[in-house]
């Protein structure tokens, strides 16, 4: 992800614009085992604002301040 905000580590993440949303989706949603059209996390992220109780807690800034989805499971990785 092109954004990196260490001071936001652990806080909710919401893309700031359409381009940032597309980059996030390409990195996580497009490769997740749960396809974005069927993913309740993805749908809630676009329905609610980040301060709403139903906004997905899975979309956060990681410990280094980079946007991440904690529920992401890469479908390109074969299970052991």
Q: DSSP string covering the chain, please?
A: -----GGGTTSB---SSHHHHHHHHHHTGGGBSS-GGG-HHHHHHHHS-TTSTTS-TTEEE-TTS-EEETT--BTTSPP-
Cα angle at 64 between 56 and 35, to 5 degrees?
A: 35
Q: What is the per-residue pLDDT across 29-58, written as a single tens digit (0 to 9) for each?
A: 999 988 767 889 989 998 999 999 999 999
Q: Percentage of the chain surpassing pLDDT 70?
A: 94
Q: What is the per-residue pLDDT across 54-80, written as a single tens digit (0 to 9) for each?
A: 999 999 999 999 999 999 999 888 766
Whole-model pTM: value is 0.86
User: 9 pLDDT band (50/70/90 cuts)?
Assistant: very high
């Amino acid at each position: 992800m092109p954004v990196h905000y260490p001071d936001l580590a652990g806080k909710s993440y919401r893309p700031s614009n359409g381009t940032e949303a597309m980059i996030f989706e390409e990195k996580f949603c497009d490769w997740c085992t749960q396809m974005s059209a069927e993913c309740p996390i993805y749908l809630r992220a676009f329905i609610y604002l980040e301060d709403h109780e139903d906004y997905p807690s899975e979309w956060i800034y990681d410990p280094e301040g980079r946007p991440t989805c904690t529920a992401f499971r890469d479908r390109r990785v074969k299970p052991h």
